[in-house]
Structure 1
Amino acid sequence: MARQRKALGYSQERFAEALGVDRSTVARWERGETEPQPHLRPRLARLLKVTTAELEALLGPRPHDGDPVSALPEAGVIIPTDSAAPWIYLDADQVDEMNRREFLQMLSITGTLVTLPPLSWGQAVELASGPSAVDSGVHGRVNAHLWQSFSFARAKSTVYPMVREQLSALIEAFERTQNEAGHKQLCIHSADLFQLAGEIFFDSNRYTDASHCYALAASAAREAGAYDLWACALTRHAFISLYERRFARAIPMLNAASEVAKHGDRELSTRHWVAAVQAEAFAGLGDLDSCNRALEFAGQVHSLSGQVHNGGWLRFDGSRLAEERGTCYIRLGRPDLAEKSLTEALNHTLSVRRRGSVLTDLAILGVQRRDSDHLLCYAGEALTLAQQSGSGYVCRKLRELQGELEPLKADRRIAALSSQIASLPAIPS
């Protein structure tokens, strides 16, 4: 049991906290001094990613030296199976896929709980601590912390285990709440967390998984009547079509997001962020006039006063407009308009994702001008960022650039650049 816990990345403290018991209790289990009470075993099995029957094997006698389990390497996860083949070993990639599938299952469970009336759960579940055990403030603070961690993380996937733990906590909270107000707050927290989960998948270029997260976020926000949260979920969903270059498909969802945002808080920047994304879609369709109108409305965010975003699911304050304008003009094939905006953007403090995107757009500008030196300068910097951070988002942008390089590949340096981009991690299907 201790080997399984460690392989899944839990310390005794974190494992005990996730299970709702004291660390010393876990220690006694692992020393074989006591065994978990029956009511704890289903959750314990879920945390260890085994069935309840397999949990019994983990709680059994410790393997002797020379047994298959003790001979296995430390990395990866040991999963007990049946008596004929009692143990199998999963490598890191298999563990990642297993965790992803479990996480998506948890998302689906929470998405279903969002739509259920709170009293149906109150009638079905025995409550241990009064009529409502939902601490909305705690969930909100945890979500805000997770968004902040995501913002600062170079590799966005490192936030994934913490999001999974918070999702598990929300599932339990749904099971315990009996009142309408508590249910509504949990819907809001779930929509918030679903969007963050979608961002993690989006950064890894797992667009199908990200789409699932954003759809659940929109559903939960709609259930709660949280219009700004709902509009942001729709906008993130539309991003998937933008980065698959299906611009016409993005327009209806962005139009819906714009309509929903009109019912939201007029002091927030939601409507202006939707407009900035609409501008990218219009640029992809070659509509310069509509693009400029959308950019003009997005720029009106600077006329808002006070706190215009929350730093989590809404982070638009107009500081990205230069790079967004540059991206639009690159898509419109207007390098004369793009260069000023992109150069201005590069002078700001940018995250890895944003800097990689701007550098790649500047490299594309070099392609459009047939300026090999310009292209190689900026593409080289973007490639280094992608290799250092592992950002799937930046890798995706560079692959878009690679598709533009064919006319210039007579230059050996550009042919070598194309090969380096091709060696970046594959984009998941």
Structure 2
Amino acid sequence: MPLKRHRLAQRRRTVGHSQESLAEKLGVDRTTVVRWERAESSPQPWIRPGLADALAVSPEQLADLLDDVRDGATRKGQGTHLVEVPQCPAGSFVECRDRAAKVSISAQTWDADRTEELAAFLTADDQLAPDSALRLSQEWRTVPPPQLAQLDRGRRVGGLMAQLIRDRTEALRRMDDHLGGGDLYDLVYRELRATLDLVREATYTEKTGRHLLAALGELCQLTGWVASDAGLTEHAERFYLGGAAAAHAAGDEPLAANLLSSLAYQVANIGDPREAVVLASTAYQGARSQGTARVRAMLLDRLAWANARLGDSRETARALEAVEDAAIDEPSAEDPQWVYWLDRAEAEVMAGRCQVELQKPKKAIQLLGGVVPGYDDDHGREKALYLSWLAEAHLQDGDPEQAASVALLALKLSTGVASARGNARMKHLDNLLAPHRANLVVRTFNEKITTLCTEAS
């Protein structure tokens, strides 16, 4: 064992952790800790802040404990390593997380240089009712954000500005209930840039700074969510990771967990489900002692989804059972604004979707069929997405005609909504139904979606 990894084990013992207790605290397996101490692997960037806290060391001291140069390990930059992730998708995914490690720092060390790093990270350019939401989004596009007006009047800001940013973020969330990511992304991103300029250029007290960073983290989560819905998944990943750094610096661990679990949800959908499980587990472990019941339930829902995408029925069931036991029926005054959407119906939908992924159609039909018809058509994107899983469950259950009938309802609701997620689900259903096009209803669905795709091209 290299000397410095021996020091890692020694530090663990000094603070009173066994390999088992440290693994449990970080949401990883004991064998993962063993591999770290044997220098067979390195902690992933998003785990390092928690590991530093658990070992009561600074990020720099942790980097020193981990800095063993061995075959296949190459130092990149100061205190940062490229991390080898087995079976991880190639490309920007690992690179982006590695860059995120540079801004994942504690609140005590956040300064102007870190703000600049976060700004560079977030802005780098790598490859209400529906009618009122649309009207409000159009009005906001014609009026400069108040963050910029504040900079024009003077550079000293207080807590009221942080609250204003949060209030505007909440309004944008409500717009997102009715508008697709393609319709909303430019507006949300402009809001993020204005807020980022304020955090970079204004002066404020340490307390106000924490509030501003938390507000920025909330806005990053929304921007990531909207970007993902618009099909800009690499941008979304950047916003989630940068927002987690800001939330951690603000001392808001539930918000940081929300950002990491949002990334886990995206990775589960388009990447390696094993990576998604690690992210979702990390998010839940990081906030379970501070988050409210609804926050914990949201994090568990995303953990269940990641496990379902992985095909792990046992772990999916464990997470869903914990959600079912959670007290989410009555909102708490301590709930953060960003968890307003979670209720028992949403939990039932997620449970049903997980059953579809696990090829358990009868249970999925029971769950989804019981709640999805009750959703208002004004929430067209969400209802269309949920109906798409109900349609898939009917197809798994051997009823392609019923599947196509439900798919037609979903297609009608999703038409005109600029959502890459919705479009992908409709195309997915069309592919699944392709062997059954002798059926009239199935053929009708195919003809309608083909016409829509032709008109869009």
TM range (shorter): 0.5 to 0.7
Q: Tell me, what secondary structure is at the counterpart of 1:389?
A: coil
**CA, structure 1 residues 402+309, in 2 after alignment: closer, same or farther (shift >3 Å)?**
farther
Q: What amino acid sits opposite 1:273 in the alignment?
A: M
Pick the aligned partner of 2:412 from 381, 384, 397.
384
Pick the aligned partner of 1:402 from 411, 416, 430.
430
Pick the aligned partner of 2:327 from 302, 315, 330.
302
Q: Which residue of 2 aligns with 1:163?
A: 188
**CA, structure 1 residues 139+290, in 2 after alignment: closer, same or farther (shift >3 Å)?**
same
Name which of structure 1's ranges 254-263 and 276-285 shifts more when overlaid on structure 2: 276-285
Find the aligned partners of 1:197 and 1:130 in 2 and give their Cα distance.
Answer: 25
**CA, structure 1 residues 383+177, in 2 after alignment: closer, same or farther (shift >3 Å)?**
same
Find the aligned partners of 1:414 and 1:304 in 2 and give their Cα distance.
Answer: 38
Q: Which residue of 2 aligns with 1:291?
A: 316
Q: Tell me, what secondary structure is at the counterpart of 1:284?
A: helix
Measure how far apart 1:197 and its partner are: 0.8
Q: Which runs of 5+ in 1 are unaligned?
A: 1-107
Q: What amino acid sits opposite 1:327 in the alignment?
A: R
1:24-423 equivalences under 5 Å are 117-118=111-112, 129=154, 131-132=156-157, 135-151=161-177, 153-174=178-199, 175-244=201-270, 246-265=272-291, 267-302=292-327, 306-307=332-333, 309-312=335-338, 315-350=341-376, 351-411=379-439, 413-418=441-446, 420-421=448-449
**CA, structure 1 residues 399+344, in 2 after alignment: closer, same or farther (shift >3 Å)?**
same
Find the aligned partners of 1:374 and 1:195 in 2 and give their Cα distance.
Answer: 37
Judge conservation of contact 2:157–2:202 (CA < 8 Å) in 1: yes
Find the aligned partners of 1:128 and 1:409 in 2 and give their Cα distance.
Answer: 64
**CA, structure 1 residues 331+198, in 2 after alignment: closer, same or farther (shift >3 Å)?**
same
Measure how far apart 1:189 and its partner are: 0.9
Could you report, residue by residue, the CA deviation over 1:42-81 in whole angstroms, capped at 9, with x for unpaired residues?
xxxxxxxxxxxxxxxxxxxxxxxxxxxxxxxxxxxxxxxx
Judge conservation of contact 2:110–2:249 (CA < 8 Å) in 1: no
Q: Tell me, what secondary structure is at the counterpart of 1:195?
A: helix
Find the aligned partners of 1:245 and 1:203 in 2 and give their Cα distance.
Answer: 15
Q: What amino acid sits opposite 1:281 in the alignment?
A: A
**CA, structure 1 residues 269+404, in 2 after alignment: closer, same or farther (shift >3 Å)?**
same
What is the RMSD of the two structures over their aligned residues, measured on CA atoms? 3.1
Q: Tell me, what secondary structure is at the counterpart of 1:390?
A: coil
**CA, structure 1 residues 282+172, in 2 after alignment: closer, same or farther (shift >3 Å)?**
closer
Judge conservation of contact 1:298–1:318 (CA < 8 Å) in 2: no
Q: What amino acid sits opposite 2:381 in the alignment?
A: R
**CA, structure 1 residues 326+246, in 2 after alignment: closer, same or farther (shift >3 Å)?**
same
Q: What amino acid sits opposite 2:312 in the alignment?
A: D
Could you report, residue by residue, the CA deviation over 1:220-243 in whole angstroms, capped at 9, with x for unpaired residues?
111111111000000110111222
Could you report, residue by residue, the CA deviation over 1:130-150 in whole angstroms, capped at 9, with x for unpaired residues?
754562222222222222222
**CA, structure 1 residues 276+308, in 2 after alignment: closer, same or farther (shift >3 Å)?**
farther
Measure how far apart 1:172 and its partner are: 3.6
Find the aligned partners of 2:333 and 2:212 in 1 and give their Cα distance.
Answer: 24
Judge conservation of contact 1:282–1:291 (CA < 8 Å) in 2: yes
**CA, structure 1 residues 230+357, in 2 after alignment: closer, same or farther (shift >3 Å)?**
same
Q: Name the count of aligned residue pairs.
A: 311
Could you report, residue by residue, the CA deviation over 1:390-411 in whole angstroms, capped at 9, with x for unpaired residues?
3222112222223322432343
Find the aligned partners of 1:412 and 1:303 in 2 and give their Cα distance.
Answer: 43
Measure how far apart 1:422 and its partner are: 5.0
Could you report, residue by residue, the CA deviation over 1:146-199 in whole angstroms, capped at 9, with x for unpaired residues?
222222x33344433442443243234221124211221111111111111111
Find the aligned partners of 1:172 and 1:358 in 2 and give their Cα distance.
Answer: 38
Q: Which runs of 5+ in 2 are unaligned?
A: 1-99, 116-150
Q: Tell me, what secondary structure is at the counterpart of 1:388?
A: coil
Find the aligned partners of 2:413 and 2:329 in 1 and give their Cα distance.
Answer: 34
**CA, structure 1 residues 415+245, in 2 after alignment: closer, same or farther (shift >3 Å)?**
farther
Measure how far apart 1:127 and its partner are: 10
Name which of structure 1's ranges 282-291 and 310-319 shifts more when overlaid on structure 2: 310-319
**CA, structure 1 residues 127+274, in 2 after alignment: closer, same or farther (shift >3 Å)?**
same
**CA, structure 1 residues 208+129, in 2 after alignment: closer, same or farther (shift >3 Å)?**
closer
Measure how far apart 1:343 and its partner are: 0.8
Judge conservation of contact 2:227–2:235 (CA < 8 Å) in 1: yes
Q: State the structure with bigger RCO (CA 8 A, min sep 6), 1 or 2.
A: 2
Larger radius of gyration: 1
Q: What amino acid sits opposite 1:269 in the alignment?
A: R
Find the aligned partners of 2:205 and 2:419 in 1 and give their Cα distance.
Answer: 42
Q: What amino acid sits opposite 1:362 in the alignment?
A: L
Measure how far apart 1:378 and its partner are: 0.4
Name which of structure 1's ranges 139-148 and 218-227 shifts more when overlaid on structure 2: 139-148
Measure how far apart 1:331 and its partner are: 1.0
Judge conservation of contact 1:197–1:213 (CA < 8 Å) in 2: yes
Measure how far apart 1:416 and its partner are: 4.9
TM-score, length basis structure 2: 0.61
Find the aligned partners of 1:120 and 1:405 in 2 and give their Cα distance.
Answer: 51
**CA, structure 1 residues 325+133, in 2 after alignment: closer, same or farther (shift >3 Å)?**
closer
Judge conservation of contact 2:182–2:419 (CA < 8 Å) in 1: no
Find the aligned partners of 1:354 and 1:256 in 2 and give their Cα distance.
Answer: 27
Find the aligned partners of 2:405 and 2:329 in 1 and give their Cα distance.
Answer: 38
